[in-house]
Amino acid sequence: MSKKNNEISTEGLTFLDDGEVLYNDLYLLSETDDKGIVEYASDSFLKIANMHLEDIVGQPHNIVRHPEMPRTAFKSLWDDIQSKGFWTGYVKNTRKGGGYYWVYATVLKSVNKNGNTKYVSIRVKPSREDIKAAEALYATLD
């Protein structure tokens, strides 16, 4: 991630009039501990979220949760992770300083040999059609 004067580069990002961020060909990665506290965030994640590492490491991952995301979507996420060890779905996140971005996320539960749990999230850009379908579904949930 390139920085000048402690600013985050917006090269490769497109900002729409409504504040949505569009991006291409990036994998957004993060890891949390068993309590959902961020331990790692990739440069691409930081760029899209408009954050620096010190903004997010040590914070709850829901720091990027957009207020329009229904609670039941996250209940489904946690139920699936606990029962299957993974979850996939569409998530609308908020950017520091304004704006938002959609991702297609895969969240994996990982338990090491000492029994410590962490969660790894890998996110990619969804299609416009998938975003519209997710918006329509999420509008019916609370």
Q: What is the pLDDT of residue 129?
A: 92
Reported pTM: 0.85
Q: Which domain holds residue 113?
A: 13-139
Which comes out higher in pLDDT, residue 88 or 23? 88
| 23 part of a folded domain | yes
| 86 part of a folded domain | yes
DSSP assignment of 37-48 equals BEEEE-HHHHHH
| 1 part of a folded domain | no
| 133 part of a folded domain | yes
- Among 94, 96, 97, 118, CA closest to 108: 118
| 7 part of a folded domain | no
| 6 part of a folded domain | no
| pLDDT tens figures, 32-74 | 999 999 999 999 999 999 999 999 999 999 999 999 999 999 9
| pLDDT tens figures, 121-138 | 999 999 889 999 999 999
d(CA 45, CA 13): 12
| 4 part of a folded domain | no
Domain count, the chain: 1
Question: What is the CATH classification number for the domain harbouring 67?
Answer: 3.30.450.20
